[in-house]
Structure 1
């Protein structure tokens, strides 16, 4: 693909991350979008496209009025909750490369701690799949995912303490990130093991992502237009979704081998084939982690280590800031905030710009993977 035919992320913005924002979700979205546009050196009048999640409560027209977007000719939403995080960039890139829009804002904002809490059982009734599982007590994400994780533990001989190895890294990265809710608050493996059980013997409290209030946004246009704007060029080298037969965003039980992650493996294959890159070419990885075991699955799916090797890979320091593939340098969803994974994409952009709080040297390619969707971002020439 010619450089001029690529999409680029030209602006990023966010609110503070909190547990009680004290303002509406629309205001959070508007603040994040305005910050992203200011970062790009653009205004609402330059925007003609929007992308968000199907679960986002903020109406596109209400947001347009709040930030001064005069006309919208592309509006789309991605499914699968956090699994669709990187798909938002795929939608925006498709719009600007095809000419269906010139400038697209991607936004995600919610009061997920002080308002509607995704982790609670009461709100889980909107999918037909729940009709099959609610009678068995599978009424919260921790329970649903734990059945999947338990197979991985059985096949590879892991314990919950092994999952804690990632939690410690995430909190260490968050501790030196001023944007993170857990800034200045690292943990030890002993802290992890002393946190209360959520689903015994699989997940403890410190294996689970946060519930956060906040908003994030980014601005996408073509690489050609991006060269005239104020920020260093960050290109979308490839973007894809990974959805396969017998998959399910919550009840992912029907693959022949549920100690693997076929959706992520599909995404890896497509990204690497599209770009000609491989695991060794990725300098930093932002891996969606609503729960710590998801990082183990994705490290293996994207070829950073072989199946069953993620535990030792993490223990040997490979995902640390000075490791072979630093992971979630901002602290991830466990350490920074849970804004449905879009804050991971903002961190990917910062790493490529060279402005991250925990900056890795000479970053040229960043993977931002969300299980069912993924992108590779590159540092433009």
Structure 2
């Protein structure tokens, strides 16, 4: 008996609603309250009633779950729900899972969300004892206590092998801060960054200084995903999900990636191959990018992984204002995790939608294609959005 090929997700679904709370070092509401506010805002933005929601996707690290969220917002019967792992590596995967559910008729209205109180909440990396039963038992005793320490080691190797400098990392921090200075919702709004401030700031984990590290913030965001057909009748211009991918390289270990022959080709390389293979676009077709920036060094590494430049050229790519508005690849136009808010990368997705709608505070003229990436260094995910 002949089999019918399963439909793909290319352009079959779209993000039609986005919502967010305020971002701040401390917000009084609970994570559940923040999540509900962001979700209801996204549904209102799409013009869809909460009772129509039948799918949810979020992170394994999300403290709120679909059972409580569904009851609290007044959702109907839920026919699809999923959670994606690896912290910030799962951000784009939440949208990919909903797009798959919609494209295969498992659901009709999906909501993805992330709510965090990392600014006012506990710092999980301080509790080293809970990490010892994991593979971290081999590294924590030697001082690799936090993601910043692991990425610092990776950055040092990157500098050593390819001549990446602190000025290259500053270019990344400056581009994100300049965009945040245009965004009233950003934590770093109206707080300019200078090279002198950057170069004289305190070390967090050498060679990463204060401004190489993302913010710690409270806040929540959400997106609504429906079919491409329904998207045409929603309130705003749809952001079609053109391609989506996840990536876990063979023999991958973690952010430092000790056991790979080449630690500098991380999960973004695997994800990118699958992402572009399914797409009608190439890196040259991308108008604007929202690249995961928990640490500045992840940007040049990701530029290489996603094919915007050759191996070892990520640092040089940042020169001459390439990441600024009007540059070769305008990047993280809300300020990103470095200067808008750090909500495990979900704000990069909503900013991508704003760019395609034409409503960003740092709008790229006529932007019709956007790459969004999740956390490099951990099993990750990515999206290609188009208008």
TM-score (norm 2): 0.94
Residue 374 of structure 1 is matched in structure 2 by 382
Aligned residues of 1:155 and 1:259 also touching (Cα < 8 A): no
Aligned residues of 1:171 and 1:335 also touching (Cα < 8 A): yes
1:153-195 Cα shifts (integer Å, max 9, x gaps): 1101233343112111111111111111001112011111111
Residues of 1 paired with 2:130 and 2:171: CA distance?
Answer: 30
After TM superposition, give the deviation of residue 254 of structure 1 in Å: 2.0
Residues of 1 paired with 2:69 and 2:129: CA distance?
Answer: 25
Aligned residues of 1:52 and 1:107 also touching (Cα < 8 A): yes
Residue 234 of structure 2 is matched in structure 1 by 229
Q: Helix, strand or coil: the match of 1:311? A: helix
- Residues 111-120 or 80-89, more deviating: 111-120
Over 3 Å counting, the alpha-carbon distance change for 1:121 and 1:203 in structure 2 is farther
Return the match for 1:168 from 174, 180, 195: 174
Residues of 2 paired with 1:177 and 1:207: CA distance?
Answer: 20
Return the match for 2:359 from 355, 358, 362: 355
1:193-219 Cα shifts (integer Å, max 9, x gaps): 11101112x100110000010000000
How many residues in Structure 1 have an aligned counterpart in Structure 2? Answer: 377
Aligned residues of 2:11 and 2:241 also touching (Cα < 8 A): no
Residue 83 of structure 2 is matched in structure 1 by 77
1:105-184 superposed matches below 5 A: 105-118=111-124, 120-122=126-128, 125=131, 128-184=134-190
1:58 aligns with 2:64: yes
Residues of 1 paired with 2:315 and 2:255: CA distance?
Answer: 23
Return the match for 1:14 from 2, 14, 20: 20
Residues of 2 paired with 1:304 and 1:93: CA distance?
Answer: 26
Over 3 Å counting, the alpha-carbon distance change for 1:249 and 1:77 in structure 2 is farther
1:339 aligns with 2:339: no
Residues of 1 paired with 2:149 and 2:209: CA distance?
Answer: 12
Residues of 2 paired with 1:149 and 1:312: CA distance?
Answer: 15
Structure 2, unmatched stretches of 5+, are 1-6
1:308 aligns with 2:312: yes
Aligned residues of 1:347 and 1:356 also touching (Cα < 8 A): yes
After TM superposition, give the deviation of residue 361 of structure 1 in Å: 0.7
Aligned residues of 2:128 and 2:140 also touching (Cα < 8 A): no
Residues of 1 paired with 2:129 and 2:48: CA distance?
Answer: 38
Residue 325 of structure 1 is matched in structure 2 by 329
Q: CA RMSD in A?
A: 1.7
Residues of 2 paired with 1:127 and 1:67: CA distance?
Answer: 38
Residue 4 of structure 2 is matched in structure 1 by none
Structure 1, unmatched stretches of 5+, are none
1:277 aligns with 2:285: no
Q: Helix, strand or coil: the match of 2:229? A: helix
After TM superposition, give the deviation of residue 72 of structure 1 in Å: 1.3
After TM superposition, give the deviation of residue 345 of structure 1 in Å: 0.2
Residues of 2 paired with 1:149 and 1:119: CA distance?
Answer: 20
Moved over 6 A (4+): 1-5
Aligned residues of 2:125 and 2:145 also touching (Cα < 8 A): no
Residues of 2 paired with 1:4 and 1:240: CA distance?
Answer: 11
1:243 aligns with 2:248: yes
Return the match for 1:101 from 102, 107, 126: 107
After TM superposition, give the deviation of residue 124 of structure 1 in Å: 5.5
Return the match for 2:298 from 266, 285, 294: 294
Q: Helix, strand or coil: the match of 1:85? A: helix
After TM superposition, give the deviation of residue 60 of structure 1 in Å: 1.1
Q: Helix, strand or coil: the match of 2:230? A: helix
Return the match for 2:216 from 207, 211, 214: 211
Aligned residues of 1:112 and 1:118 also touching (Cα < 8 A): no
After TM superposition, give the deviation of residue 92 of structure 1 in Å: 0.8
Over 3 Å counting, the alpha-carbon distance change for 1:72 and 1:242 in structure 2 is same
1:55-92 Cα shifts (integer Å, max 9, x gaps): 00002111112111122111100001001111111111
